[in-house]
Chain A
Amino acid sequence: MQKQEYTITVYTENQVGLLNRIAIMFSRRKINIESLNTSPSEIDGIHRFTIVVNETEDVLRKLVRQIEKQVDILKAEFSTNEEVIYQELALYKVPTPVIAEKAKVERLLREYGARAVVIRMDYTVFETSGHREEINKLLAALEPYGLMEFVRSGRVAIIKASTGFHDKLKEFEQRERSEEVAENEYLGQQEKVFTM
């Protein structure tokens, strides 16, 4: 079976340590995670992981079942690139003097759908979003102008056919509210607490 790019979407409780529990499912099978994004979902209290990997469908099916089996995970599913609408975001830092003098900034911005986030005397930061190829094209275009820094975010993806689970999630959250995340409130209180 051919490996291809898949987007895995995982809905979880908001729990400390869950990122590790999910991540080790991949490292255990020695699967490299291409990108990982975690964010709140449309439902209050439910978190959403978006994970991109290159794998065969067969391995992925087993993997996703093992992920979904974890106690704090509500739902895990995987989609091909055709089944999702996805974007990545990138930031590019370039020296202002060079870019102002040599590049046709305006054309760059139009051509790549980019915008300037910060313009300073010493440097300028551009931002764009899109598929990886688009981001890489702008990267290549800026490289000759003394690119100082580049960063690209993980993929975020919306599943084209995912109305079904949304309702279910909402129902979950209506019936029983998420628990508050218990954080360690004592951390950094060393001086105030004397211990043996």
Chain B
Amino acid sequence: MSTLDIVNPKEAVAAAIPATTNNTVLSGSEAVLEAFIAEGVHTFFGYPGGAIMPIYDALYDYRDKLNHILVRHEQGGIHAAQGFARTSGEVGVVFATSGPGATNLVTGLADAMIDSNPLVCITGQVFAHLLGTDAFQETDVINITTPVTKWNYQVTDATEIPAVLAKAFYIARTGRPGPVLIDITKNAQIQKFDYEGYTPCNHIRSYRPYPKVRKEYVEQAAALINEAKRPFVLFGQGVILGKAEAEFKAFIEKAGIPSAWTIMGLSALPTDHPLNVGMLGMHGNYGPNVLTNECDVLIAIGMRFDDRVTGRLDKYAKQCKIIHLDIDPAEIDKNIKADVPVWGDCKETLPLLTQLVNKGNHKEWLQRFRDMQQQEVEAVIHDELNPTSEVLTMGEVLKVLNELTGGDAVIVTDVGQHQMIACRYAKFNQSKSNVTSGGLGTMGFALPAAVGAKFGAPERTVVAIAGDGGIQMTIQELGTIMQFNVGVKLIILNNQFLGMVRQWQQLFNDKRYSFVDITSPDFIAVAKGYHIEGQRVDARENLRTALKTMLDHDGAYVLEIMVGKENNVFPMVPQGCGVSEIRLK
């Protein structure tokens, strides 16, 4: 056959690869979808384009088995996959095409990497023979995404697909979870090959997701805890990722240790649990921050001592012994030197520790948290939740929302002042209920993540809370909500400013408000344009009814709430200060 005779790319590739007919013959694209089915994937997100068309063509025949949600932007797609992973505890999956499709995933990958979300991202890529030639919509996706993926791999031959996909799902969900990206060239998607079935992966020789638990460290940790007069537990998302909420609760209850959370750990322990003493970090609660520097043993569980949690490191927890439980050995001693490192999955290590610790209750010590909480209530919380000013506060919105949901809703937040207020005041009864961009701080996260969160937990109420800035970054996802009838309730807390930056400019830059004055469209008209119901509220007497209308509404709803323009979030640990230098005003 002369090269000129070949006009169909499918035939071109098929001609290059002789196929035997003993087994099932599948295309690379079909093998990808078979892998999804074998891995239990039912819903995923994506956006088609040239280089991923063969997979979309195959998907046409899998429409009854796989639910593909067409987003409005690839960033929306990956945030949705993150939201899905966070509420379902399963791997989130997203498709994008080559070039701009793939680069639009990068923000979401970085977000998922730093917040340990299990994701499998499939990107289309130009034909293998075009790699490196600046072909149409070609980008070097593997190298662009290397620093923001747990693992990535480029497939140029369809026969690799079953094993690579199996590896991808295994790596994404095991150990410390993270995003995996598989880039598949168009020829590999088209190529037919002898399909020998799908074998899930459960071992990679160079990858040890679960470090071996060293008993002696558990014993040392228990000994320290048993001697402690003022022990203090800090917990992060590791408890949720390890599905170890019950083990965690059993541990703190037996030892009677006050426990505070990072925003990624929020909802792992019910808000009204007697040992839950609140939030850590820059806008966290007063007691947990100040008492970090007064405890005698600090027990960190599945958290990584982020700078927003620790403030200045040389003024952080210098007086105490530190026990650090983490599944990721690279986290031990990274920011804070641990006296006793307990490597391992906390689902495994916590019960061992619980066995060895004495029953205890540190009543007086716990009372100190309660006393400081009272101080915080008087100085900050009371006014935030029950303002006497005419304008609404974000805090009172959360208070009424808590009363109406009873703490059963999934709360998805964006980034900024409203995020801190929501994390501080939202009530949670069950785990996997708080979805937020913690590590990366990605504005525009909330709306698409809420779409995914709703698919991940369809029976639950999902409330997205965003500011007037962040919502404008990904507002196009209202289109996804419209098309697929996603019952997301969106609250826009509008203070007519990029509030968090404005707060810093007020406090640290002499009120030089540099480009934080943001104007907004008529959000309700925008929602109506997408055939989504909504209303705007600016008076206190209408707040409760409006929130109730939103929650009772069958389907998506947009509620814009006008709040005080120059309200600040307090308490605050100013940058460069130690946690005990937290300011109440």
Q: Could you tell me which A residues sit within 8 Å of B by CB distance?
A: 12-13, 16-17, 20-21, 24, 28, 61-62, 65-66, 68-69, 71-74, 172, 175-176, 182, 184-196
Q: Using A69-B330, A71-B206 as known contacts, say yes or no to A187 and B150 having CB atoms under 8 A apart.
A: no
| With A186-B129, A187-B129, A195-B127: A175-B330 Cβ-Cβ less than 8 Å | no
* Cβ-defined partner of B334 (8 Å) among A24, A62, A172, A187: A62
Contact between B205 and A175, CB atoms less than 8 A apart: yes
Contact check: which of B3, B7, B328 meets A192 at CB < 8 Å?
B3
Q: Which residues of A contact B151 (CB under 8 A)?
A: 71-72
B127 contacts A186, CB within 8 Å? yes
State the Cβ distance, A181 to closest chain B Cβ, in Å: 11
| Whole-angstrom distance between the Cβ of A30 and the nearest chain B Cβ | 14
Q: B9 to chain A: which residues have CB within 8 Å?
A: 193-196
Q: Contacts A17-B154, A176-B205, A184-B156 given; 18 further ones with Cβ under 8 A?
A: A17-B146, A20-B143, A62-B330, A68-B330, A69-B330, A71-B151, A71-B171, A71-B204, A71-B207, A72-B206, A175-B205, A186-B156, A187-B128, A187-B129, A187-B132, A193-B9, A193-B13, A194-B3
Report 8 cross-chain contacts, Cβ distance below 8 Å, ordered by A residue.
A24-B147, A28-B147, A71-B151, A184-B128, A193-B12, A194-B7, A195-B129, A195-B130
Q: How many of chain B's residues have a CB under 8 angstroms from any CB in A?
A: 41
Q: In the complex, what residues of A have CB within 8 A of residue B154's CB?
A: 16-17
A21 and B205 within 8 A (CB): no
What separation, in Å, do the CA atoms of A72 and B185 have in the docked complex? 22
The answer on a CB contact under 8 Å between B156 and A66 is no
Please give the residue numbers on chain B whose beta carbons come within 8 Å of chain A beta carbons, in ascending order. Answer: 3, 6-7, 9, 12-13, 16, 127-133, 142-143, 146-147, 150-157, 160, 171, 185-187, 204-207, 328-330, 332-334
Residues of A within 8 A of B146 (CB): 17, 20-21, 24
Report whether A65 and B156 are in contact in the complex, using a CB–CB cutoff of 8 Å: no
**A182/B157 contact (C-beta < 8 A), A71-B207, A196-B9 known:** yes
Task: From the candidates A62, A72, A188, name the one contacting B333 in the complex (CB within 8 A).
Answer: A62
**Contact indicator B330/A193 (Cβ below 8 Å):** no
A69 to B131, CA, bound (A): 29
Known A-B contacts A193-B129, A195-B130; A17 and B156 likewise in contact (beta carbons under 8 Å): no
Give the distance in Å from the alpha carbon of A172 to the alpha carbon of B330 in the complex. Answer: 23
Chain A residues within an 8 Å CB radius of B328: 69
- Judging by beta carbons under 8 Å apart, are B333 and A190 in contact? no
Contact across chains for B334 and A193 when beta carbons are under 8 A apart: no
Instruction: A190 to B133: give the CA distance in the assembly, Å.
Output: 10
Chain B residues whose C-beta falls within 8 Å of the C-beta of A20 in the assembled complex: 143, 146
> Which single residue of chain A is at the shortest CB-CB distance from B11?
A194
Point out the residue from A12, A186, A188, A191 that lies within 8 Å of B3, measured CB to CB: A191
Q: For the complex, what is the distance from the CA of A121 to the CA of B143, rounded to whole Å?
A: 46
Nearest A residue to B164 via CB reads: A182
* Most B-side CB within 10 Å, residue of A16, A74, A182, A195: A195
Q: Is the beta-carbon distance between A186 and B128 smaller than 8 angstroms?
A: yes
Q: What residues of A have a CB within 8 angstroms of the CB of B160 in the complex?
A: 182
List of 6 A-B pairs having minimum Cβ-Cβ separation, nearest first: A186-B128, A186-B129, A65-B330, A71-B151, A74-B206, A194-B6
Contact B129 A189 (CB under 8 A): yes
- Complex alpha-carbon distance, A146 and B330, angstroms: 51
Q: What residues on B are CB-neighbors of A192 within 8 Å? A: 3, 12, 16
Q: Smallest Cβ distance from B155 to chain A, in angstroms?
A: 8
A38 CB, nearest partner CB in chain B, Å? 16
How far apart are the CA atoms of A65 and B156 in the complex, in Å? 31
Which A residues are in CB contact (< 8 Å) with B155?
182
Query: In this complex, which of A13, A71, A175, A190 has the most chain B Cβ atoms within 10 angstroms of its Cβ?
Result: A71
Q: How far is the CA of A189 from the CA of B3 in the complex (A)?
A: 11
B334→A185 contact, CB < 8 A:
no
* Residue on A nearest B142 in the bound complex, by CB: A17
Shortest C-beta distance, B109 to chain A (Å), equals 14
Q: List chain B residues, Cβ under 8 A from A28.
A: 147
